[in-house]
Amino acid sequence: MTDVEGGLDEPEELQPAEGSLKLVGDHDAYDVAAWEAATAAVLRKARRLGEDAPDSDVWSALTRTTLDGVEVAPIGQPADLDGLSTTGRPTRAGAWDVRTQVEVVDAKAANEAALQDLENGATSLLLHLDEDASPDWATLLDGVLLDLAPVVLDRPSTEQVEAFADFLEGVEGAVHPATNLSFDLQTLEMLPSRVRDDGVTARDLFALVARRGFQLGVRALVVDGTALHDEGASDAQELGWAIATGVAYLRLLAEEGFSVEHGARMVEFRLAATDEQFPSIAKLRAARRLWARVLEASGAEDGAGTEMALHAVTSRPMTSRQDPWVNMLRGTVAAFAAGVGGADAVTVVPFDEPLGAPDAFGRRIARNTSSLLIEESHVATVTDPAGGSYAVERLTDDLAAAGWAELGRIESAGGALADEARQGVKERVRAVRAERDAQVADRSRPLTGVSEFPHLGEVLPEREHLPHRHVRRYGWAYEDMRAQPATRPAFLATMGTVAAHTARATFATNLFAAGGVAVEAAGATASVEDVTAAYSGQPVVCLAGTDAAYAEWGADLVAALRAAGASYVVLAGKPGEKTVTDVDDSCAMGVDALGFLARIREELAK
C-alpha cells in the first residue's frame, strides 16, 4: 500500500478502468480557460449561450446581480481577494442559540408551548405579544429557568418592556445575561421629541430602560433590522439602517454616562436570513465587520467583550401562503446560512405562520431545523466555515461596502433619529421594492409554489387566526389572485400529439394557475375539428403547439374558435410570421406574468 516516498498507492480495486472518468489528482492542473470551456459547452447545450459566443461569456451568463448592484459570481477565483477593504471573522464558536418563536395570546397556552420547546431542543425564547396584550408574566414564564434560557421580546410596546423589566426585578436568583428587554426606538418610532400621555419623553424612557437593563445584568436594547426587511429592504439597506441605529444608541447612551464598551454590550442586533444562501452568509459576516469598525472609530478598547450580539431570523417576506410546505425548505436554507454566517442565535419562523398561529407541528419543524443542522449535519463544528472562500470573501466585502455607503447616506442626513434620514431610507426601500416586484412579475425571480409550479387544487392546513405583524411577502400579488380564483376556466387548445404540445401546454397551464385560473385542455388532436369538438364555449382560449403546427393550421383554428364563441385568443409562444398573427395576447418566457394574468382574469369576468 505504501510507496518508497511514504505515500499511499491507490488500491487496485479503486483504480479507474481504461477510458473511464478519473478523479482529479495532485498533479492535475485546471485553469480558468478550461473551466470556461467546459461550462460554455453545457450552457450552449441548454441554449443559454450562443454557438458563436466566446467561452468567456459564461461569467456574464451565470453571474447574477443583487438588488444592491452587488455581483454574485458562479465560482470564486484567487483574484477575488485583490483589493478587499474589510476584514474580520465571525466570533461565535460552537453551536448557536436555538431561539424559538412563541406566540403569546393566552399566557397559559404560551407557557405550555415555551416549555415544550425548551424540553425539545430550544435554548432561548422569542416572545411575540399582541400589541395591546398585558400578559401575566409569572404564568407565561412559569417553569422557565431564566438563568439558563434567555428570554427576548419581539417588537414589544413600551408598556410591555416596562412590565417585563418589573417582572425580572422580582425574579429570585440570576437572570441569563442574554435576556433582552428589547427596547427599540426605530420599530416603535419613538423619536427623542415624542412625549407620552404621562409626560415621559422617549429619551427619558430610553434612559430608564437602559439603566434598568444595566442593573439587572441583561441587555436592554435591540436593533431590529428585520422590521425594515419586512418592508422590502435590500441586504445593504438593512445593514446600513441597523448599523446607523446602533450608532444612535451609542450616542444616546454616552449622553447618559455609559462608556462605549458598556453601551455596546447592551445592544443586540436582529437581522433577516433568506433562502439566498450566499448573500445571507455574506450579510451576517459583513454586519460584524461594520459594527467592529464603528466601535473602533468610537474608541472602544480591544478585547472588552464588545463583540456584536447577532440574532438571525429567517425571512418572513420570502415565505408563502400557497404551498406552505416549501417554507420548510426556505427556512432550512436560511437557517444554514445564518449558522454558517456566524449568528449567535437563530430563529426559524414556523412554515405555517402565513396561515395563522403555528401549531405544535410547525413549531417542532422550526426548532428541529436548527437541531439537525447542529447535531447531525455538524454545521456549527467549524467556526466560520465560509471563511477563506474566494467568492464569499468577495461578496462579504462588497456587501460591507454597500452597507457602509447606506450608513453614510443616513448619517449625512442627520442620523437614524432624524426625520430626513428616515424619509430617505423609506424612499430608497420603495425603489428596491418596486424593482423586486418587477422581477417577481416577470418571474425572473421565481417563487416555487406561487409563481412557479402552483397547485390550484391544494388543501391548505387550517390554523387559528393570529393578528400578524405587517409583512409584505414577495408573492403577495399572486397570492391575492389565488385567494379569489377565476370563476371560469380558460380553454387550452392543444395542437397535435401530447409529445408535440406538452412543453407549451405545461408552461401555459402553470402560468394560468399562478393567477388562480384553471384550464380545460383539448388533449391530443390532429385537426381543427378535433379541437373545436372539445371546446365548450370559454371566452379565453390559449393555443398550445409547435411552431410548425401554428404555421400549418393555427390561423384556421383561431378563426374556427372565434366563430364558436372565443372572444380572447392567446398564443403560447411568441407570435410572428411563422406562427400565428391573429391573436389577442401571447405568453412566453419573460412575459409580465402579473399583467398577463390580470388581463386574462378581466376577460373571464366579462
Q: Output the pLDDT for position 11.
A: 43
CATH topology of domain 484-605: Rossmann fold (3.40.50)
pLDDT digits 0-9 by tens, 583-606 = 999 999 999 999 999 999 999 998
CA distance 156 to 182: 7
**Which percentage of the chain shows pLDDT scores above 70?**
92
CA distance 98 to 380: 12
- pLDDT (mean) for 20-42: 75
CA 74, chain centre distance (Å): 20
pLDDT digits 0-9 by tens, 194-232 = 556 666 777 788 889 999 999 999 999 999 999 999 999
Query: E strands along 172-217, which residues?
Result: 180-183
Residues of each domain in the chain carrying CATH 3.20.20.240: 97-428
pLDDT digits 0-9 by tens, 225-267 = 999 999 999 999 999 999 999 999 999 999 999 999 999 999 9
pLDDT digits 0-9 by tens, 113-150 = 999 999 999 999 999 998 778 889 999 999 999 999 99
Check whether domain 97-428 has CATH 1.10.287.1770, yes or no = no
Residues of each domain in the chain carrying CATH 3.40.50.280: 484-605
Helix, strand, coil: what percent of the chain each, to 5?
45, 10, 40
CA distance 203 to 594: 46
Q: Output the pLDDT for position 158.
A: 84
* Termini Cα distance of the chain: 80
Q: Output the pLDDT for position 188.
A: 44
Of 185, 179, 227, 225, give the one whose Cα is nearest residue 205: 185
All three cell numbers of 520: 380545460
Q: What is the mean pLDDT of the chain?
A: 91
Question: For residues 545 and 554, is the Cβ–Cβ distance under 8 A?
Answer: yes
Give φ, ψ of 176 to 5 degrees: -55, 130
pLDDT higher than threshold 90 for residue 187: no
For cell 387550517, name the residue: 462
**Vertex 599, ends 560 and 445: CA angle to 5°?**
120
pLDDT band at 28 (very low <50, low <70, confident <90, very high): low
Contacts of 112 (CB under 8 A, 6+ apart): none
pLDDT band at 6 (very low <50, low <70, confident <90, very high): very low
pLDDT digits 0-9 by tens, 262-284 = 999 999 999 999 999 999 999 99
This prediction has a pTM of 0.91
pLDDT higher than threshold 60 for residue 193: no
Burial class for 4, CB neighbours closer than 10 Å (0-12, 13-18, 19+): exposed
pLDDT digits 0-9 by tens, 438-452 = 999 999 999 999 999
